[in-house]
A and B are shown apart, each in its own frame.
Chain A
Amino acid sequence: MLSAILAIGGLGFVAGVGLAAASKIFYVYVDPLIVAVEEALPGANCGGCGFPGCSGAAEAIATGKAPPTICVGGGPATHAKVASILGIEIKEVEPEIARPGCYYGPQEADLKYIYDGLNDCRAAMLLGGGAKECPVGCLGLGSCVKACPFGALSMGEDGLPRVNASLCTGCGTCERVCPKHIITLTSNSRRVTQEYTLDQCSAPCQRTCPAGIDIPAYIDAAGRGDYLEAVRIIKEKNPFPLVCGRICVHPCENECRRNLLDEPVAINPIKRFVADFEMKSGSRIPIEKAPPTGKRIAVIGGGAEGLTAAFFLARLGHEPTVYEGKPHLGGLLRTIIPDSRLPKDVLDWEIQGILETGVTAHTNTKLGRDVAIGDLLQEGYDAVFVATGGWDSQMSEGLPTEPYQMLPGVHLLVHLSFAHMAGKAPQLAGDAMIVGCGNASIDAAHLLKTLGAQHVHVVFRGSRQESPFTDEELQAAEAQGITFHFRSAITRMFGRAGDLTHVEVASLEKYVPGQTLQQLHEQAALQHIPVQTLVTGAGRFPELIYAPVYEQRGEGDQQELVRTDHWETVVPYAGPFAEEDVGIFRPGEATTDYKAVVEAIGAGRRGAASVHKRLMGEEVAAPPGMIRRSTRVLTVDTLEPLSPQPREKMPALSPVEQMANPEAEVELGFSEEQVRREAQRCLRCGLICYRRPLQEPESLAKSA
C-alpha cells in the first residue's frame, strides 16, 4: 500500500517538477496580442484574407503586416473588436457580396452532352469545359455552395446558385472555387467601374449601350413592378435616366434580339417610365456610396459628361467639385435640346439629384478665365478631370478673338489661327508640337514659327508613306527645323504649375492594340520631348486627368512621398467603342464619344473610373478582356419559333396639338400596363441563351 502511494506519488512529483522546470527551460514568448486577436477572429479559416487560416491572419494583424480590416469573413463587428484590441482606429471597408452571373440553369440552356460524373463543377470542367454550349455558363453542380464557409449559398430549383445576402460576408471563397469565374464579388465600387468582359454573360443590348447599363436586369425589375430597383440598376451606370429616357438614341434597341422576330423591346420608354416613377414619387432612391476617401477632385465642365464623372466620383467615395463656365449646369442638355423633348424642370430635378449625391458645383467659373489647372492643383485637389465638352465651348459661345488659355500650353489650331488673323495671337517661346492637324500640319508649323516657336515637332499616327505630304515637302520642312514623328502618339504631358514642360511621345512601330503604357515603356518605345506649346487640330479638347507628381524624399525609414508643384496628365482608358486606345488626341475619339448624351455619360463614367484607379495607385487601363468593337462575341442569329407580340406604341401629342402648344412635351410616356406588357416581351438574353417558349406537356411526353 505504502509503496504504491510512494511510487505513484513519486512519479507524479517527478513529472510535475519536470514539467515546471521544462516550462522555464523551454519558455517561448508568444505575443499575447496574437492570441487575443486570434480569439476575436471568426475561426472559419476561409482564407479570404490571403493568410493561412485565422492564426496566420492574427499574427499578421498583431505584427502590423495587415490592417485590422483584413478579415472579410467577420465583417465590421470583427474589425471593430480587433481594432479595439490593438487600440487603433479602423478605416471603413466597403461591403462586398457574391453575385452569380448566369441566368439559365442546365435544364434550360443548350447542352453539348449529358454529364454524369463527379458531382463537382471542377471535375465537369475537365470534360471539354463543361456540358453547356455557353463557355461562361454555370455548370450547376454547386461547387460554390459546398465551398461557402458561411452557408450563404444554396442551389435553386433552376440549377443556379442563390445568395443569401444576410449571410454572405464577401470572403470570395466561391469566386476562387468556381472554375468558370461566374460567381464574383461585387461592391458598389466594382459595379460602377465595371466593363463587360469576354468571361461573363452579357446581352447584345447591354454590350451596345455606350453607358453600359445592365438592361436585361432593369427590364426584369420593371416587369416585376419593382420600379425603384430598376432605377437603382440604371443609376449604377447612368445618373441621367430621366434625360436618357427622353432623348437617348438607344443603340441598344438596334441590337435587340427581338429584331430577328418582330420589333425590338421598347428599352428606352421603360427606362423613362421607371425614372418618371421615381420623380413622381417625390423622393429619391438612396444612392450607395463607398466609404469616404478624403480625396478632392475638380471636374471642369458641368455638362452631361462632367456631372456624370462627378456623380460616380462621389459614389466612389471622393469629393468632387464641378466648375462650370455658364450660369447653369447641364451643358448642351440645357442649351440645345428643346423643351418639347426635354422639359427644363425634369432636367433640373435630375441635376439636383446628382448634386445631392455629394457633388459641389461652382457656376460662372470658367477655366482659363476664373480658374486655372495649375492653381487648382496648388489649392490641394488630388486630380483635375477635364470634361469641357462635345463642342469647343468657346466656339459655341461666339468666338472670342482672344481665346482663354484652358489647358496649360495646349491650343486648338482653329483658335490660334483666328487670333492670328485678328492680330491678337499670343507670343510663343520655346519648342512647340503639333498633333492631329493632317494636311495643315506644315502650314501650322510655319504659323508657330511666326509666333516665335523655336523648334516644331509634328506627330503623325500614320507612317511617312501614309502622310499627306510628298517626300520633297517633308524634306523641305525638315530643313526648316521641323521634326516629324511618324507612327507615334502623344501619351502624356508633363508640366509645372501653369506651364507645359515636356511631352511623352510613344512610337507605335511595335504597338499591339490593347497594350498599356507600362508595356510600351518596357519596349523602350517612349521618349520625352521638351515642349512648351502643344497645338491640336481637333475642334475640342480631349478629356484628360491632371494629377500632381509625388516625389520620394528622405532616406531609409524616413522616406516619404512629398507632393510637388509638378503635374502629369493621365488619359482615361478608352471605352469599348474607341477605334484606338493609346494616347491623347486619339483618332475618332471626337466623333465616337459625343454623338449622343449617352456616349458622354459613358465617357464621364470611364473618366471617373480612371481618376479612381489613378488615386488608388492602380494602372489606368481598361479591364483585361473588355469587349471592344473588334471583339467577336458568341451570339445567336436565329431564334426558335416564338409568337410575335407587337411593340407598345409611345403615346404622343398629335401634330395639331403640337402646333397648338409647341412648348409641351411631345412624348407622353408609357402607362404602367404598357410597361408590364413590354417587359414581358424581353427575352432576357445571355450570350446564347434567351427566354424560350415553354415546352408543351405533349412535346415533353414525345421526347421522353
Chain B
Amino acid sequence: MHEYWLLIVGAVFVNNIILARYLGNCPFFGVSNRMDTATGMAMAVVFVITLASCITWLVEKYVLAPFGLEYLETIAFILVIASLVQLVEMFLQKSVPALYRALGIYLPLITTNCAVLGVAVLCVEEDFNFIKTLVFAFASAVGYGMALIMLTGIRERILVAPVPKHLQGLPVGLISGGLLALAFLGFLGMV
C-alpha cells in the first residue's frame, strides 16, 4: 500500500507531468483562459490518459514484447491511442450523452497529445504491472488537471490586473506557468 501512496504523490506533485516533465504544454496554455473550459479539459485528460495507458500496456505486453518489437512502441501507441479515443467518443455519444457533452470538444483535441503518449511510454519504461500502470496514469492525469486549474485561476486574476501591454496574454501566462513550476520544484526529493 505504501508503495502506491508514494506512486500517487510522486506522480501528482513531485514528477508532475507538466510542471516537472514539461509534457502537454499546448493545452496547458491554450485552454487555461477560462475556468469552465479548463475543468472540462482536466476531466477529459483524466479519462483519456487512464484509459490509453491501460490499453497501451496491454498492447506492449501481449503484442509488441512477444515479438521483440519494442522499438515500434511510439508508432504503435499513437495508432492505438488515436483509434481508442475515436471509439470512446462514439461510445459516449451513443451511451452516455451527458458525459459526451461535458467532455465535448476536448476529447478529440487530446487524441495525440504528448502528455497522453508520454504517460503511456513512462508506464512501459518503468516496467509497471497493470495495477501500477492504472494508478500511475490516473495520478499523473490528476496532476495535469490540478496544474491546469491552478494556472487558470492565476490567469483569470491576471486578466483584470494592470499588466504591461507587451506582456498581456500569452507572455504573462508563460511567466505564471514558469513560476508555478518553480514552486513545484519545492516538492523535489519528497519521494
Does B bind A? yes
Q: Which residues of A contact B (CB under 8 A)?
A: 3-4, 7-8, 10-12, 15-16, 18-19, 22-23, 25-28, 118-120, 123
CA distance in complex: A398, B162 (Å)? 77
Expressed in whole angstroms, the minimum distance between the Cβ of A581 and any Cβ of chain B is 44
Q: Is B165 an interface residue (CB 8 A)?
A: no
CA distance in complex: A7, B63 (Å)? 7
Q: Which residues of B contact A (CB under 8 A)?
A: 59, 63-64, 67-69, 72, 75-76, 79-80, 83, 86-87, 90-91, 93-95, 160-162
Are B87 and A19 in touch, CB under 8 angstroms?
yes
Expressed in whole angstroms, the minimum distance between the Cβ of A233 and any Cβ of chain B is 37
CA distance in complex: A25, B72 (Å)? 31
Q: Cβ of B90: which chain A residues have Cβ within 8 Å of it?
A: 19, 22-23, 26
CA distance in complex: A496, B76 (Å)? 84
Are B95 and A4 in touch, CB under 8 angstroms?
no
Expressed in whole angstroms, the minimum distance between the Cβ of B104 and any Cβ of chain A is 10
Are A18 and B160 in touch, CB under 8 angstroms?
no
Are B162 and A7 in touch, CB under 8 angstroms?
no
CB < 8 Å A-B pair total: 54
Are A118 and B63 in touch, CB under 8 angstroms?
no
Q: Which of A7, A12, A22, A119 contacts B87 (CB 8 A)?
A: A22
Q: Cβ of B69: which chain A residues have Cβ within 8 Å of it?
A: 3-4, 7
CA distance in complex: A27, B79 (Å)? 22
Are A18 and B79 in touch, CB under 8 angstroms?
no
Are B83 and A18 in touch, CB under 8 angstroms?
yes
Are A119 and B76 in touch, CB under 8 angstroms?
no
Are A26 and B93 in touch, CB under 8 angstroms?
yes
Interface majority SS on A: helix, strand, loop or mixed? Answer: helix
Are B64 and A7 in touch, CB under 8 angstroms?
yes
Q: Which of B68, B80, B91, B161 contacts A15 (CB 8 A)?
A: B80
Are A11 and B95 in touch, CB under 8 angstroms?
no
CA distance in complex: A25, B95 (Å)? 11
Expressed in whole angstroms, the minimum distance between the Cβ of A451 and any Cβ of chain B is 74
With CB as the reference atom, state the residue of chain A lying closest to B64. A7
Are A8 and B160 in touch, CB under 8 angstroms?
no
CA distance in complex: A426, B160 (Å)? 77
CA distance in complex: A16, B82 (Å)? 11
Q: Cβ of B68: which chain A residues have Cβ within 8 Å of it?
A: 3
**A7-B64, A28-B93, A119-B161 given as contacts; is B76 within 8 A of A18 (CB)?**
no
CA distance in complex: A23, B91 (Å)? 9
Listed from nearest, the 8 A-B pairs whose CB atoms lie closest are A15-B83, A26-B94, A26-B90, A3-B67, A118-B160, A120-B160, A22-B90, A28-B93
Supply 29 A–B pairs (Cβ within 8 Å), ascending by A.
A3-B67, A4-B69, A4-B72, A7-B69, A7-B72, A8-B72, A11-B63, A11-B79, A11-B80, A15-B79, A15-B80, A15-B83, A18-B87, A19-B83, A19-B86, A19-B87, A19-B90, A22-B90, A25-B94, A26-B90, A26-B93, A26-B94, A26-B95, A27-B94, A28-B93, A28-B94, A118-B160, A120-B160, A123-B160
Further 17 A-B residue pairs, CB within 8 A, beyond A7-B72, A22-B86, A118-B160: A3-B67, A3-B69, A4-B72, A8-B72, A11-B80, A15-B79, A15-B83, A16-B83, A18-B87, A19-B86, A22-B90, A23-B90, A25-B94, A26-B90, A26-B93, A119-B161, A119-B162
